Amino acid sequence: MGPLATTILFCMLLDPALPLTQEHQDVPTTEWVPSLNMKFDRRTMELSWDCKENTTYLECVMIHKEKGEIRKKPKNKDCHCNFSHDSLHGGVTFVVKVNSTQGPIPEKLVYANPGGEGTAAQNFSCFIYNVNFMNCTWAKGRAAPDDVQYFLYIQDFKEKRERECPHYVTDSGTHVGCHLHDLSGLTFRNYFLVNGTSRETAVQFFDTILSLKKIGCLHQRPYSRGFRTSRING
Ligand SMILES: *[C@@H]1O[C@H](CO)[C@@H](O)[C@H](O)[C@H]1NC(C)=O
Ligand SMILES: *[C@@H]1O[C@H](CO)[C@@H](O)[C@H](O)[C@H]1NC(C)=O
Ligand SMILES: *[C@@H]1O[C@H](CO)[C@@H](O)[C@H](O)[C@H]1NC(C)=O
Ligand SMILES: *[C@@H]1O[C@H](CO)[C@@H](O)[C@H](O)[C@H]1NC(C)=O
Ligand SMILES: *[C@@H]1O[C@H](CO)[C@@H](O)[C@H](O)[C@H]1NC(C)=O
Ligand SMILES: *[C@@H]1O[C@H](CO)[C@@H](O)[C@H](O)[C@H]1NC(C)=O
């Protein structure tokens, strides 16, 4: 198999709409791995796909806008890879490399952040005070429609339980903050997601991972007074 055929095969997988041309008839059909039907579950950060018989999967790659390529090796016959939590609002691309006699064939999945640019909540930040309270605030996206409504979900890293903000702070009806008076169940690092709705347009989500440990408020220190605030920014 020459490099030309390999290249064409590669392109076809990335663009299934491409018509079959003469060259492809060289490719043995038994080697052909049709769409793996890749799926990504944000809550578990698990990338999975349909297992195909007699196929080995060499590598999973998450291509992250800021962090670059994060590689995982699926175990022998596993048809999934677990990634650790990362912000996804910049959009990420997943690649699974399938082995074949032609060498690794990549198949990809784009996990997008659909909606208008600038519609997502911005300037998200949280702070803990009086040990057990936490306030988070954000602002309406600069391009968000008037009727936008935002919702905050917090997911801990241990139980992976997702809970919605129990008490929103509103500005002219729009949720622009959240007050929590019970931080039990949260872990040192937690995943924060602000998504939104509007009748006019799709609203992009904002997500971030914030560490409660870093700000130290969960642990009373000898010098700490009752009221102390620290700010963590997304
Ligand atoms: C990967 O994630 C799935 C779904 O959360 C879980 O059932 C499985 O145990 C995880 N596997 C590993 C190796 O962590
Ligand atoms: C898979 O491989 C095994 C052993 O090499 C072979 O017996 C079987 O026929 C293959 N199955 C398919 C669907 O190619
Ligand atoms: C990929 O598949 C080829 C042919 O089936 C095999 O010779 C090679 O060892 C495989 N490579 C890996 C890394 O599994
Ligand atoms: C968001 O933060 C930026 C930089 O600190 C600031 O310039 C901007 O005015 C803030 N936007 C809103 C809506 O608060
Ligand atoms: C946190 O938010 C609540 C609810 O809006 C508010 O009553 C409280 O004053 C805020 N606390 C601080 C320290 O800003
Ligand atoms: C926002 O995210 C939550 C948690 O995953 C989900 O249940 C909800 O349907 C989402 N809402 C929108 C408008 O996407």
Domain locations along the chain: 39-111, 122-231
For the cut 70, the answer to whether the pLDDT of residue 154 exceeds it is yes
Residue scoring higher pLDDT (2 or 185) = 185
Q: What is the pLDDT of residues 81-107, one digit of tens each?
A: 999 999 999 999 999 998 877 778 889
Q: What is the mean pLDDT of the chain?
A: 81
Domains 39-111 and 122-231 belong to one CATH topology? yes
Task: State which of 111, 119, 151 you would mutate to test the pocket of ligand 6, scoring each by most atoms of that ligand within 8 A of its C-beta.
Answer: 151
Give the helix/strand (H/E) hosting 10.
Answer: helix 3-14
Q: The domain at 122-231 falls in which architecture?
A: Sandwich (2.60)
User: What 8-state DSSP symbol labels residue 203?
Assistant: B
d(CA 199, CA 180) in angstroms, rounded, equals: 29
Residues within a 6 A CB radius of ligand 6: 151, 153, 162, 193, 195, 197
pLDDT band at 24 (very low <50, low <70, confident <90, very high): very low
Assess contact for 40 and 47: CB atoms under 8 A: yes
pLDDT value at position 4?
Answer: 43
- Name the residue type at position 168: Y
pTM to 2 decimal places: 0.78
Q: What CATH class does 39-111 carry?
A: mainly beta
pLDDT value at position 33?
Answer: 59
